[in-house]
Structure 1
Amino acid sequence: MYPRQISKDDVLKKYLYLAAVTLVLMLWLLPLGAVILTSVRPASDAAVGNYWGWPSGFDLVKNYTEVFTQTPMGRYFFNSLVITIPSVIGVLVLSTLTGYVLSRYRFRGNTLLFAIFIGGNFLPFQIMMIPVRDLTISLGIYNSYLALIIFHVAFQTGFATLFMRNFIASLPDELFEAARSEGASPLQTLIHVVIPLVRPALAALAILAFTFIWNDYFWAVVLTPSDAVKPVTAGLDNLKGQYVANWSLISAATIAIAIPPVVMFFLMQRHFIRGLTMGAVKG
Protein backbone atom coordinates (compact mmCIF):
# COMPACT_ATOMS: atom_id res chain seq x y z
CA MET A 1 0.00 0.00 0.00
CA TYR A 2 1.38 3.39 -1.03
CA PRO A 3 0.85 6.55 1.06
CA ARG A 4 -1.77 8.93 -0.25
CA GLN A 5 -0.53 12.17 -1.71
CA ILE A 6 -1.08 15.21 0.47
CA SER A 7 -3.58 17.59 -1.06
CA LYS A 8 -2.28 21.04 -2.00
CA ASP A 9 -5.21 22.57 -0.17
CA ASP A 10 -4.36 20.81 3.12
CA VAL A 11 -1.75 23.33 4.29
CA LEU A 12 -1.55 22.02 7.87
CA LYS A 13 -0.69 18.43 6.84
CA LYS A 14 1.79 19.76 4.32
CA TYR A 15 3.72 21.74 6.92
CA LEU A 16 3.52 18.93 9.48
CA TYR A 17 4.97 16.59 6.89
CA LEU A 18 7.80 18.99 6.07
CA ALA A 19 8.53 19.48 9.78
CA ALA A 20 8.65 15.71 10.37
CA VAL A 21 10.96 15.16 7.39
CA THR A 22 13.23 17.99 8.52
CA LEU A 23 13.41 16.57 12.06
CA VAL A 24 14.25 13.07 10.86
CA LEU A 25 16.86 14.45 8.46
CA MET A 26 18.51 16.50 11.22
CA LEU A 27 18.62 13.50 13.57
CA TRP A 28 20.12 11.37 10.78
CA LEU A 29 22.76 13.98 9.94
CA LEU A 30 23.62 14.80 13.56
CA PRO A 31 26.38 12.14 13.96
CA LEU A 32 27.90 13.13 10.62
CA GLY A 33 27.87 16.78 11.66
CA ALA A 34 29.57 15.88 14.93
CA VAL A 35 32.33 14.00 13.08
CA ILE A 36 32.86 16.90 10.67
CA LEU A 37 33.02 19.38 13.55
CA THR A 38 35.44 17.18 15.47
CA SER A 39 37.66 16.84 12.40
CA VAL A 40 38.42 20.57 12.50
CA ARG A 41 38.84 20.88 16.28
CA PRO A 42 42.20 21.14 18.02
CA ALA A 43 43.12 17.90 19.78
CA SER A 44 42.96 19.72 23.13
CA ASP A 45 39.17 20.13 22.83
CA ALA A 46 38.53 16.41 23.23
CA ALA A 47 40.95 16.28 26.14
CA VAL A 48 38.87 18.80 28.10
CA GLY A 49 35.53 17.20 27.15
CA ASN A 50 34.45 19.72 24.49
CA TYR A 51 32.75 17.24 22.15
CA TRP A 52 29.60 19.11 21.13
CA GLY A 53 30.45 22.72 21.86
CA TRP A 54 31.87 25.25 19.45
CA PRO A 55 35.56 24.50 18.69
CA SER A 56 38.11 26.61 20.55
CA GLY A 57 39.97 26.90 17.26
CA PHE A 58 40.01 25.51 13.72
CA ASP A 59 42.80 23.13 12.71
CA LEU A 60 41.23 21.97 9.46
CA VAL A 61 44.38 22.10 7.35
CA LYS A 62 46.56 20.76 10.16
CA ASN A 63 44.31 17.79 10.96
CA TYR A 64 43.71 16.72 7.37
CA THR A 65 47.38 17.16 6.49
CA GLU A 66 48.50 15.06 9.43
CA VAL A 67 46.19 12.24 8.34
CA PHE A 68 48.55 11.60 5.42
CA THR A 69 51.84 12.85 6.87
CA GLN A 70 51.76 11.54 10.44
CA THR A 71 49.85 8.28 9.87
CA PRO A 72 50.03 5.44 7.28
CA MET A 73 46.62 6.38 5.85
CA GLY A 74 48.17 7.07 2.46
CA ARG A 75 49.29 3.46 2.28
CA TYR A 76 45.86 2.28 3.40
CA PHE A 77 44.21 4.37 0.67
CA PHE A 78 46.46 2.79 -1.93
CA ASN A 79 45.62 -0.68 -0.59
CA SER A 80 41.89 0.06 -0.79
CA LEU A 81 42.20 1.17 -4.41
CA VAL A 82 44.20 -1.93 -5.32
CA ILE A 83 41.50 -4.10 -3.72
CA THR A 84 38.36 -2.21 -4.73
CA ILE A 85 38.93 -1.43 -8.41
CA PRO A 86 39.70 -5.01 -9.58
CA SER A 87 36.89 -6.31 -7.37
CA VAL A 88 34.34 -3.97 -8.93
CA ILE A 89 35.49 -4.87 -12.44
CA GLY A 90 35.26 -8.58 -11.61
CA VAL A 91 31.75 -8.17 -10.19
CA LEU A 92 30.55 -6.25 -13.25
CA VAL A 93 31.97 -8.77 -15.72
CA LEU A 94 30.71 -11.89 -13.93
CA SER A 95 27.26 -10.49 -13.11
CA THR A 96 26.75 -9.28 -16.70
CA LEU A 97 27.68 -12.68 -18.12
CA THR A 98 25.57 -14.68 -15.66
CA GLY A 99 22.67 -12.23 -15.81
CA TYR A 100 22.67 -12.45 -19.62
CA VAL A 101 22.65 -16.25 -19.62
CA LEU A 102 20.05 -16.63 -16.87
CA SER A 103 17.67 -14.10 -18.41
CA ARG A 104 17.90 -15.09 -22.07
CA TYR A 105 18.57 -18.82 -22.17
CA ARG A 106 16.44 -21.65 -20.83
CA PHE A 107 18.27 -24.79 -19.75
CA ARG A 108 17.91 -27.46 -17.12
CA GLY A 109 18.81 -26.06 -13.72
CA ASN A 110 18.34 -22.41 -14.77
CA THR A 111 15.87 -21.66 -11.98
CA LEU A 112 17.88 -23.61 -9.41
CA LEU A 113 21.07 -21.76 -10.32
CA PHE A 114 19.29 -18.41 -10.08
CA ALA A 115 17.83 -19.42 -6.70
CA ILE A 116 21.35 -20.22 -5.46
CA PHE A 117 22.52 -16.75 -6.43
CA ILE A 118 19.56 -15.20 -4.61
CA GLY A 119 19.88 -17.49 -1.58
CA GLY A 120 23.49 -16.49 -1.09
CA ASN A 121 22.35 -12.94 -0.35
CA PHE A 122 20.45 -14.14 2.73
CA LEU A 123 23.31 -16.14 4.22
CA PRO A 124 25.02 -14.28 7.11
CA PHE A 125 28.60 -13.93 5.98
CA GLN A 126 29.87 -13.96 9.58
CA ILE A 127 29.24 -17.72 9.79
CA MET A 128 31.75 -18.20 6.96
CA MET A 129 34.57 -16.39 8.73
CA ILE A 130 36.55 -19.46 9.85
CA PRO A 131 36.01 -21.54 6.66
CA VAL A 132 36.99 -18.60 4.46
CA ARG A 133 40.06 -17.83 6.56
CA ASP A 134 41.15 -21.48 6.51
CA LEU A 135 40.58 -21.63 2.75
CA THR A 136 42.78 -18.59 2.09
CA ILE A 137 45.52 -20.10 4.26
CA SER A 138 45.34 -23.41 2.38
CA LEU A 139 45.48 -21.57 -0.95
CA GLY A 140 48.45 -19.51 0.20
CA ILE A 141 46.73 -16.16 -0.35
CA TYR A 142 46.01 -15.23 3.26
CA ASN A 143 47.05 -11.68 4.17
CA SER A 144 47.24 -10.58 0.53
CA TYR A 145 45.36 -8.35 -1.90
CA LEU A 146 44.21 -11.43 -3.79
CA ALA A 147 42.37 -12.85 -0.78
CA LEU A 148 40.12 -9.80 -0.43
CA ILE A 149 39.66 -9.39 -4.19
CA ILE A 150 38.53 -13.00 -4.69
CA PHE A 151 36.10 -13.04 -1.81
CA HIS A 152 34.68 -9.59 -2.47
CA VAL A 153 33.94 -10.69 -6.03
CA ALA A 154 32.41 -13.93 -4.74
CA PHE A 155 30.20 -12.27 -2.13
CA GLN A 156 29.04 -9.37 -4.31
CA THR A 157 28.29 -11.40 -7.45
CA GLY A 158 25.08 -12.89 -6.01
CA PHE A 159 23.31 -9.56 -5.58
CA ALA A 160 24.86 -8.18 -8.77
CA THR A 161 23.58 -11.15 -10.79
CA LEU A 162 20.07 -10.65 -9.47
CA PHE A 163 20.30 -6.97 -10.41
CA MET A 164 21.66 -7.55 -13.93
CA ARG A 165 19.41 -10.52 -14.66
CA ASN A 166 16.27 -8.47 -14.00
CA PHE A 167 17.60 -5.53 -15.98
CA ILE A 168 18.52 -7.62 -19.05
CA ALA A 169 15.21 -9.50 -18.85
CA SER A 170 13.39 -6.17 -19.24
CA LEU A 171 14.99 -5.50 -22.65
CA PRO A 172 12.63 -6.02 -25.63
CA ASP A 173 12.70 -9.51 -27.11
CA GLU A 174 12.60 -7.99 -30.60
CA LEU A 175 16.19 -6.76 -30.18
CA PHE A 176 17.48 -10.28 -29.62
CA GLU A 177 15.35 -11.72 -32.43
CA ALA A 178 16.75 -9.08 -34.79
CA ALA A 179 20.31 -9.90 -33.71
CA ARG A 180 19.74 -13.62 -34.31
CA SER A 181 18.20 -12.95 -37.72
CA GLU A 182 21.34 -11.01 -38.66
CA GLY A 183 23.47 -14.01 -37.71
CA ALA A 184 24.97 -12.52 -34.54
CA SER A 185 26.45 -15.00 -32.10
CA PRO A 186 25.48 -14.88 -28.39
CA LEU A 187 28.78 -13.13 -27.59
CA GLN A 188 28.25 -10.57 -30.36
CA THR A 189 24.71 -9.96 -29.13
CA LEU A 190 26.03 -9.39 -25.63
CA ILE A 191 28.74 -6.96 -26.76
CA HIS A 192 26.83 -4.99 -29.41
CA VAL A 193 23.24 -5.13 -28.14
CA VAL A 194 23.10 -5.82 -24.42
CA ILE A 195 26.06 -3.89 -23.01
CA PRO A 196 25.22 -0.54 -24.70
CA LEU A 197 21.67 -0.79 -23.31
CA VAL A 198 22.65 -1.78 -19.77
CA ARG A 199 25.15 1.00 -19.17
CA PRO A 200 22.88 2.71 -16.60
CA ALA A 201 22.59 -0.59 -14.72
CA LEU A 202 26.36 -1.10 -14.86
CA ALA A 203 26.91 2.43 -13.54
CA ALA A 204 24.46 1.89 -10.68
CA LEU A 205 25.98 -1.49 -9.88
CA ALA A 206 29.50 -0.07 -10.00
CA ILE A 207 28.58 2.57 -7.42
CA LEU A 208 26.91 0.04 -5.12
CA ALA A 209 29.75 -2.48 -5.40
CA PHE A 210 32.40 0.21 -4.95
CA THR A 211 30.67 1.49 -1.80
CA PHE A 212 30.17 -1.98 -0.30
CA ILE A 213 33.74 -3.07 -0.97
CA TRP A 214 35.38 0.24 0.01
CA ASN A 215 33.47 0.36 3.31
CA ASP A 216 33.99 -3.30 4.20
CA TYR A 217 35.51 -3.74 7.63
CA PHE A 218 34.75 -7.35 8.56
CA TRP A 219 36.71 -9.15 5.83
CA ALA A 220 39.48 -6.55 5.97
CA VAL A 221 40.11 -7.48 9.61
CA VAL A 222 39.70 -11.24 9.06
CA LEU A 223 41.84 -11.64 5.94
CA THR A 224 44.46 -8.85 6.14
CA PRO A 225 46.05 -8.53 9.60
CA SER A 226 49.21 -6.95 8.16
CA ASP A 227 49.47 -3.18 7.67
CA ALA A 228 51.17 -3.80 4.32
CA VAL A 229 47.88 -4.84 2.66
CA LYS A 230 45.29 -3.48 5.08
CA PRO A 231 42.58 -1.21 3.55
CA VAL A 232 41.40 2.09 4.99
CA THR A 233 38.54 0.74 7.08
CA ALA A 234 40.78 -1.61 9.05
CA GLY A 235 43.63 0.90 9.04
CA LEU A 236 41.43 3.52 10.68
CA ASP A 237 41.32 1.41 13.82
CA ASN A 238 45.12 1.63 14.04
CA LEU A 239 44.91 5.39 14.65
CA LYS A 240 43.63 4.80 18.16
CA GLY A 241 46.38 4.68 20.76
CA GLN A 242 46.47 2.18 23.60
CA TYR A 243 45.67 4.79 26.23
CA VAL A 244 44.97 8.04 24.35
CA ALA A 245 43.23 8.66 21.03
CA ASN A 246 43.48 11.81 18.93
CA TRP A 247 39.81 12.06 17.98
CA SER A 248 40.35 15.10 15.78
CA LEU A 249 42.79 13.10 13.66
CA ILE A 250 40.52 10.05 13.62
CA SER A 251 37.53 12.16 12.58
CA ALA A 252 39.53 13.81 9.81
CA ALA A 253 40.61 10.39 8.56
CA THR A 254 36.99 9.19 8.67
CA ILE A 255 35.82 12.07 6.50
CA ALA A 256 38.71 11.52 4.08
CA ILE A 257 37.77 7.84 3.77
CA ALA A 258 34.15 8.74 2.95
CA ILE A 259 35.09 11.10 0.11
CA PRO A 260 35.81 8.58 -2.74
CA PRO A 261 32.36 6.85 -2.67
CA VAL A 262 30.61 10.21 -2.36
CA VAL A 263 32.55 11.69 -5.29
CA MET A 264 31.86 8.58 -7.39
CA PHE A 265 28.15 8.82 -6.65
CA PHE A 266 27.87 12.48 -7.62
CA LEU A 267 29.83 11.92 -10.82
CA MET A 268 27.50 9.08 -11.85
CA GLN A 269 24.26 9.94 -10.06
CA ARG A 270 22.30 10.40 -13.31
CA HIS A 271 23.17 6.88 -14.42
CA PHE A 272 22.72 5.56 -10.88
CA ILE A 273 19.12 6.77 -10.57
CA ARG A 274 18.25 5.62 -14.08
CA GLY A 275 19.83 2.22 -13.43
CA LEU A 276 17.82 1.70 -10.25
CA THR A 277 14.49 2.61 -11.83
CA MET A 278 14.82 0.68 -15.10
CA GLY A 279 14.46 -3.06 -15.20
CA ALA A 280 13.15 -3.29 -11.67
CA VAL A 281 9.76 -4.81 -12.33
CA LYS A 282 10.23 -7.58 -14.85
CA GLY A 283 11.46 -10.92 -13.46
Structure 2
Amino acid sequence: MTLSATPAPVRARSRGRLGVHAFLLVVSLAFLAPLLLAVYASLRPYEETAKYGYFSLPRHLSFDYYRQAFVDSGMGKYFVNSLVIAVPGVLITLFLASFVAFAVARLRIRGGTVLLMVFTAGNLLPQQVIVTPLYVLFNKIPLPYWMSDSLTVYDSYWAVIAVQIAFQLGFCVFVLAHFMRTLPVEILEAAIVDGAGVWARYRRVTLPLCRPALAALGTLQFTWMYNDFLWGLVFLSDGDKLPVTSALNNLRGQFFTDYNLLAAGSVLVALPTILVFLALQRHFIAGLTLGASKG
Protein backbone atom coordinates (compact mmCIF):
# COMPACT_ATOMS: atom_id res chain seq x y z
CA MET A 1 0.00 0.00 0.00
CA THR A 2 1.52 3.30 -1.09
CA LEU A 3 1.06 6.55 0.75
CA SER A 4 -0.90 9.19 -1.13
CA ALA A 5 0.88 12.36 -2.12
CA THR A 6 0.15 15.64 -0.34
CA PRO A 7 -3.02 17.18 -1.80
CA ALA A 8 -2.53 20.16 -4.09
CA PRO A 9 -4.59 22.57 -1.91
CA VAL A 10 -2.39 21.75 1.11
CA ARG A 11 0.79 22.37 -0.89
CA ALA A 12 -0.64 25.66 -2.17
CA ARG A 13 -1.48 26.78 1.35
CA SER A 14 2.03 25.85 2.53
CA ARG A 15 3.64 27.84 -0.28
CA GLY A 16 1.35 30.77 0.41
CA ARG A 17 2.21 30.68 4.11
CA LEU A 18 5.94 30.60 3.34
CA GLY A 19 5.49 33.55 1.02
CA VAL A 20 3.66 35.54 3.70
CA HIS A 21 6.34 34.79 6.30
CA ALA A 22 9.10 35.73 3.85
CA PHE A 23 7.34 39.01 3.06
CA LEU A 24 6.86 39.81 6.77
CA LEU A 25 10.52 39.01 7.43
CA VAL A 26 11.66 41.39 4.69
CA VAL A 27 9.35 44.17 5.93
CA SER A 28 10.52 43.66 9.54
CA LEU A 29 14.17 43.88 8.52
CA ALA A 30 13.46 46.99 6.48
CA PHE A 31 11.91 48.70 9.53
CA LEU A 32 14.64 47.47 11.89
CA ALA A 33 17.54 48.35 9.58
CA PRO A 34 17.84 52.05 10.62
CA LEU A 35 17.72 51.14 14.31
CA LEU A 36 20.27 48.35 13.92
CA LEU A 37 22.56 50.64 11.92
CA ALA A 38 22.27 53.35 14.61
CA VAL A 39 23.16 50.84 17.34
CA TYR A 40 26.08 49.53 15.29
CA ALA A 41 27.38 53.04 14.57
CA SER A 42 27.02 54.10 18.22
CA LEU A 43 29.41 51.35 19.29
CA ARG A 44 32.21 52.41 16.91
CA PRO A 45 34.55 55.43 16.99
CA TYR A 46 33.76 58.10 14.44
CA GLU A 47 37.32 58.00 13.10
CA GLU A 48 36.86 54.33 12.22
CA THR A 49 33.62 54.78 10.32
CA ALA A 50 35.00 57.87 8.57
CA LYS A 51 37.94 55.84 7.34
CA TYR A 52 36.30 52.50 6.54
CA GLY A 53 32.60 53.41 6.15
CA TYR A 54 29.52 52.62 8.20
CA PHE A 55 29.06 49.18 6.61
CA SER A 56 32.58 47.94 7.27
CA LEU A 57 33.59 45.36 9.86
CA PRO A 58 34.33 46.83 13.31
CA ARG A 59 37.87 47.16 14.67
CA HIS A 60 36.85 48.47 18.07
CA LEU A 61 33.51 48.40 19.94
CA SER A 62 32.67 50.20 23.19
CA PHE A 63 29.87 51.95 25.09
CA ASP A 64 31.84 55.18 25.52
CA TYR A 65 29.52 57.15 23.25
CA TYR A 66 26.50 56.30 25.42
CA ARG A 67 28.12 57.69 28.53
CA GLN A 68 29.30 60.76 26.63
CA ALA A 69 25.85 61.33 25.05
CA PHE A 70 24.07 61.10 28.39
CA VAL A 71 26.50 63.45 30.15
CA ASP A 72 27.13 66.02 27.40
CA SER A 73 23.47 66.52 26.52
CA GLY A 74 22.19 66.66 30.10
CA MET A 75 19.74 63.96 29.06
CA GLY A 76 18.67 63.08 32.61
CA LYS A 77 16.57 66.20 33.19
CA TYR A 78 15.12 66.03 29.69
CA PHE A 79 13.98 62.46 30.34
CA VAL A 80 12.11 63.72 33.40
CA ASN A 81 10.55 66.55 31.36
CA SER A 82 9.23 64.12 28.76
CA LEU A 83 7.78 61.84 31.42
CA VAL A 84 6.11 64.81 33.14
CA ILE A 85 4.39 65.56 29.83
CA ALA A 86 3.71 62.05 28.51
CA VAL A 87 2.50 60.17 31.60
CA PRO A 88 -0.28 62.60 32.67
CA GLY A 89 -1.14 63.17 29.02
CA VAL A 90 -1.66 59.46 28.37
CA LEU A 91 -3.65 58.84 31.57
CA ILE A 92 -5.95 61.84 31.11
CA THR A 93 -6.46 61.07 27.42
CA LEU A 94 -7.41 57.45 28.07
CA PHE A 95 -9.76 58.39 30.92
CA LEU A 96 -11.62 61.05 28.93
CA ALA A 97 -11.68 58.96 25.76
CA SER A 98 -13.01 55.87 27.54
CA PHE A 99 -15.72 57.93 29.23
CA VAL A 100 -16.86 59.54 25.96
CA ALA A 101 -16.65 56.23 24.10
CA PHE A 102 -18.76 54.54 26.78
CA ALA A 103 -21.43 57.23 26.45
CA VAL A 104 -21.45 56.98 22.66
CA ALA A 105 -21.29 53.19 22.37
CA ARG A 106 -23.27 51.99 25.42
CA LEU A 107 -25.61 54.71 26.66
CA ARG A 108 -27.04 55.44 23.21
CA ILE A 109 -27.22 59.17 23.89
CA ARG A 110 -28.94 61.40 21.36
CA GLY A 111 -26.51 62.63 18.74
CA GLY A 112 -23.86 60.08 19.74
CA THR A 113 -22.97 59.27 16.14
CA VAL A 114 -22.57 62.96 15.31
CA LEU A 115 -20.40 63.41 18.41
CA LEU A 116 -18.20 60.51 17.32
CA MET A 117 -17.87 62.06 13.85
CA VAL A 118 -16.82 65.39 15.41
CA PHE A 119 -14.13 63.71 17.50
CA THR A 120 -12.90 61.79 14.45
CA ALA A 121 -12.90 64.91 12.26
CA GLY A 122 -10.67 66.66 14.79
CA ASN A 123 -7.84 64.34 13.77
CA LEU A 124 -8.04 65.67 10.21
CA LEU A 125 -7.04 69.19 11.28
CA PRO A 126 -3.34 69.86 10.62
CA GLN A 127 -1.71 70.69 13.92
CA GLN A 128 0.50 73.40 12.48
CA VAL A 129 -2.56 75.46 11.47
CA ILE A 130 -3.40 76.44 15.06
CA VAL A 131 0.12 77.03 16.37
CA THR A 132 -0.19 80.83 16.24
CA PRO A 133 -3.72 81.06 17.74
CA LEU A 134 -2.74 78.72 20.58
CA TYR A 135 0.46 80.69 21.21
CA VAL A 136 -1.55 83.91 21.60
CA LEU A 137 -4.25 82.22 23.67
CA PHE A 138 -1.85 80.54 26.10
CA ASN A 139 -0.09 83.84 26.71
CA LYS A 140 -3.41 85.35 27.84
CA ILE A 141 -4.66 82.55 30.12
CA PRO A 142 -3.43 83.16 33.70
CA LEU A 143 -2.25 80.44 36.07
CA PRO A 144 -1.23 80.67 39.74
CA TYR A 145 2.48 80.81 40.52
CA TRP A 146 2.50 77.24 41.85
CA MET A 147 1.34 75.95 38.45
CA SER A 148 3.46 78.12 36.15
CA ASP A 149 6.58 80.23 36.61
CA SER A 150 5.39 82.56 33.86
CA LEU A 151 1.95 82.99 35.55
CA THR A 152 0.35 81.99 32.23
CA VAL A 153 -0.28 78.71 30.42
CA TYR A 154 2.57 79.55 28.07
CA ASP A 155 5.98 78.23 29.15
CA SER A 156 4.40 75.57 31.35
CA TYR A 157 3.96 71.83 31.00
CA TRP A 158 0.19 72.38 31.12
CA ALA A 159 0.28 73.93 27.65
CA VAL A 160 1.98 70.92 26.07
CA ILE A 161 -0.16 68.42 27.99
CA ALA A 162 -3.39 70.20 27.00
CA VAL A 163 -2.49 70.24 23.31
CA GLN A 164 -1.44 66.59 23.35
CA ILE A 165 -4.71 65.57 24.97
CA ALA A 166 -6.77 67.66 22.56
CA PHE A 167 -5.19 66.18 19.45
CA GLN A 168 -5.06 62.57 20.64
CA LEU A 169 -8.51 62.41 22.21
CA GLY A 170 -10.42 61.99 18.95
CA PHE A 171 -8.40 58.99 17.80
CA CYS A 172 -8.78 57.26 21.18
CA VAL A 173 -12.54 57.90 21.29
CA PHE A 174 -12.91 56.47 17.78
CA VAL A 175 -10.99 53.28 18.60
CA LEU A 176 -12.56 52.69 22.03
CA ALA A 177 -16.12 53.34 20.83
CA HIS A 178 -15.80 50.72 18.11
CA PHE A 179 -14.14 48.32 20.54
CA MET A 180 -16.90 48.75 23.14
CA ARG A 181 -19.54 48.01 20.53
CA THR A 182 -18.04 44.53 20.12
CA LEU A 183 -18.56 43.72 23.81
CA PRO A 184 -21.55 41.48 24.65
CA VAL A 185 -24.64 43.54 25.43
CA GLU A 186 -25.83 40.85 27.85
CA ILE A 187 -23.08 41.75 30.33
CA LEU A 188 -24.30 45.33 30.72
CA GLU A 189 -27.92 44.20 30.81
CA ALA A 190 -27.07 41.84 33.67
CA ALA A 191 -25.33 44.71 35.50
CA ILE A 192 -28.42 46.89 35.08
CA VAL A 193 -30.61 44.11 36.49
CA ASP A 194 -28.27 43.92 39.50
CA GLY A 195 -28.82 47.62 40.10
CA ALA A 196 -25.54 48.98 38.73
CA GLY A 197 -25.57 52.66 37.86
CA VAL A 198 -23.82 54.35 34.97
CA TRP A 199 -20.56 54.83 36.88
CA ALA A 200 -20.52 51.20 38.08
CA ARG A 201 -21.19 49.91 34.56
CA TYR A 202 -18.35 52.06 33.26
CA ARG A 203 -15.75 51.39 35.96
CA ARG A 204 -16.52 47.83 37.09
CA VAL A 205 -17.84 46.24 33.90
CA THR A 206 -16.67 48.04 30.78
CA LEU A 207 -13.15 49.18 31.69
CA PRO A 208 -11.88 45.70 32.73
CA LEU A 209 -13.10 44.30 29.40
CA CYS A 210 -11.34 47.13 27.52
CA ARG A 211 -7.96 46.48 29.15
CA PRO A 212 -6.33 45.13 25.92
CA ALA A 213 -7.56 48.11 23.89
CA LEU A 214 -6.48 50.57 26.59
CA ALA A 215 -3.03 48.96 26.75
CA ALA A 216 -2.65 49.17 22.97
CA LEU A 217 -3.74 52.81 22.92
CA GLY A 218 -1.57 53.61 25.94
CA THR A 219 1.49 52.23 24.16
CA LEU A 220 0.79 54.25 21.02
CA GLN A 221 -0.09 57.43 22.91
CA PHE A 222 3.02 57.27 25.09
CA THR A 223 5.18 56.80 21.99
CA TRP A 224 3.59 59.76 20.20
CA MET A 225 3.63 62.13 23.16
CA TYR A 226 7.11 61.15 24.29
CA ASN A 227 8.60 61.58 20.81
CA ASP A 228 6.84 64.88 20.07
CA PHE A 229 9.12 67.86 19.59
CA LEU A 230 6.94 70.53 17.94
CA TRP A 231 4.71 71.51 20.87
CA GLY A 232 7.51 71.58 23.40
CA LEU A 233 9.53 73.82 21.10
CA VAL A 234 6.59 76.19 20.54
CA PHE A 235 5.12 76.48 24.04
CA LEU A 236 8.20 76.13 26.26
CA SER A 237 10.64 79.03 26.21
CA ASP A 238 12.68 77.80 29.17
CA GLY A 239 15.35 75.43 27.84
CA ASP A 240 15.36 73.42 31.07
CA LYS A 241 11.73 72.39 30.45
CA LEU A 242 12.17 71.03 26.93
CA PRO A 243 11.45 67.34 26.21
CA VAL A 244 14.15 64.75 25.69
CA THR A 245 14.00 64.98 21.89
CA SER A 246 15.54 68.43 22.19
CA ALA A 247 18.56 66.96 24.01
CA LEU A 248 19.83 65.54 20.73
CA ASN A 249 20.38 69.06 19.47
CA ASN A 250 22.93 69.57 22.27
CA LEU A 251 25.08 66.87 20.69
CA ARG A 252 25.49 68.80 17.44
CA GLY A 253 28.57 70.98 17.21
CA GLN A 254 28.72 74.35 15.52
CA PHE A 255 31.26 73.26 12.90
CA PHE A 256 31.38 69.48 13.28
CA THR A 257 28.86 66.77 14.24
CA ASP A 258 29.93 63.34 15.44
CA TYR A 259 27.13 61.23 13.96
CA ASN A 260 28.17 58.16 15.95
CA LEU A 261 27.67 60.17 19.14
CA LEU A 262 24.34 61.39 17.78
CA ALA A 263 23.36 57.78 17.07
CA ALA A 264 24.14 56.83 20.67
CA GLY A 265 21.96 59.69 21.90
CA SER A 266 19.13 58.61 19.58
CA VAL A 267 19.25 55.07 20.94
CA LEU A 268 19.13 56.38 24.52
CA VAL A 269 16.13 58.58 23.67
CA ALA A 270 14.32 55.60 22.11
CA LEU A 271 14.90 53.25 25.06
CA PRO A 272 11.84 54.29 27.17
CA THR A 273 9.40 53.68 24.32
CA ILE A 274 10.99 50.29 23.63
CA LEU A 275 10.71 49.34 27.31
CA VAL A 276 7.06 50.43 27.42
CA PHE A 277 6.28 48.34 24.36
CA LEU A 278 8.04 45.29 25.79
CA ALA A 279 6.20 45.68 29.10
CA LEU A 280 2.79 45.96 27.40
CA GLN A 281 3.52 43.74 24.40
CA ARG A 282 1.04 41.00 25.31
CA HIS A 283 -1.79 43.46 25.94
CA PHE A 284 -0.81 45.52 22.90
CA ILE A 285 -1.10 42.56 20.53
CA ALA A 286 -4.33 41.43 22.18
CA GLY A 287 -5.78 44.90 21.76
CA LEU A 288 -4.94 44.94 18.06
CA THR A 289 -6.45 41.51 17.34
CA LEU A 290 -9.31 41.07 19.80
CA GLY A 291 -11.65 43.61 18.30
CA ALA A 292 -11.07 42.22 14.81
CA SER A 293 -12.18 38.74 15.86
CA LYS A 294 -15.51 39.92 17.23
CA GLY A 295 -18.60 39.63 15.09
TM-score, normalized by length of structure 1?
0.88
Partner of 1:212: 224
Q: Secondary structure at the match of 1:236?
A: helix
- Separation in structure 2 between the aligned mates of residue 194 and residue 15 of structure 1, nearest angstrom: 40
Partner of 2:82: 80
Alignment RMSD, CA only?
Answer: 2.4
- Separation in structure 2 between the aligned mates of residue 120 and residue 106 of structure 1, nearest angstrom: 22
- What does the per-residue CA deviation read over 1:256-282, in whole Å, with 9 as the maximum and x for residues that have no partner? 111111111111111111112223487
Q: What is the Cα deviation at residue 87 of structure 1?
A: 0.5
Partner of 1:42: 45
Q: What is the Cα deviation at residue 152 of structure 1?
A: 0.8
Q: Secondary structure at the match of 1:119?
A: helix
Partner of 1:3: none
Q: Which has the larger radius of gyration?
A: 2
- Separation in structure 1 between the aligned mates of residue 217 and residue 234 of structure 2, nearest angstrom: 25
Do structure 1's residue 31 and structure 2's residue 31 form an aligned pair?
no
Contact kept? 1:216, 1:233, Cα under 8 Å = yes
Q: Aligned AA for 1:71?
A: S
Partner of 1:183: 195
Q: Aligned AA for 2:155?
A: N
The number of residue pairs the alignment matches comes to 277
Which of the numbers 109, 120, 128 marks the counterpart of 2:111?
109
Contact kept? 2:73, 2:250, Cα under 8 Å = no
Partner of 2:137: 135
Q: What is the Cα deviation at residue 221 of structure 1?
A: 2.1
Shift in alpha-carbon separation, 1:22–1:209, aligned structure 2, 3 A: closer
Partner of 1:262: 274
Do structure 1's residue 161 and structure 2's residue 173 form an aligned pair?
yes
Shift in alpha-carbon separation, 1:69–1:194, aligned structure 2, 3 A: same
Q: Aligned AA for 1:244?
A: F
TM-score, normalized by length of structure 2?
0.85
Q: Identity of paired residues, percent?
A: 36
Q: What is the Cα deviation at residue 12 of structure 1?
A: 7.0
Partner of 1:221: 233
Q: Aligned AA for 2:241?
A: V
Shift in alpha-carbon separation, 1:69–1:176, aligned structure 2, 3 A: same
Q: What is the Cα deviation at residue 59 of structure 1?
A: 2.6
Do structure 1's residue 152 and structure 2's residue 160 form an aligned pair?
no
Partner of 1:95: 97
Contact kept? 1:102, 1:165, Cα under 8 Å = yes
- Separation in structure 2 between the aligned mates of residue 169 and residue 13 of structure 1, nearest angstrom: 34
Q: Which runs of 5+ in 2 are unaligned?
A: 1-7, 142-151
Q: Secondary structure at the match of 1:121?
A: helix
- What does the per-residue CA deviation read over 1:184-216, in whole Å, with 9 as the maximum and x for residues that have no partner? 110111111111111111111111111111111
Contact kept? 2:89, 2:161, Cα under 8 Å = yes
Contact kept? 1:169, 1:279, Cα under 8 Å = no
Shift in alpha-carbon separation, 1:228–1:174, aligned structure 2, 3 A: same
Q: Aligned AA for 1:184?
A: A
Q: What is the Cα deviation at residue 105 of structure 1?
A: 2.0
Contact kept? 1:170, 1:282, Cα under 8 Å = yes
Contact kept? 1:46, 1:247, Cα under 8 Å = no
- Separation in structure 2 between the aligned mates of residue 282 and residue 20 of structure 1, nearest angstrom: 27
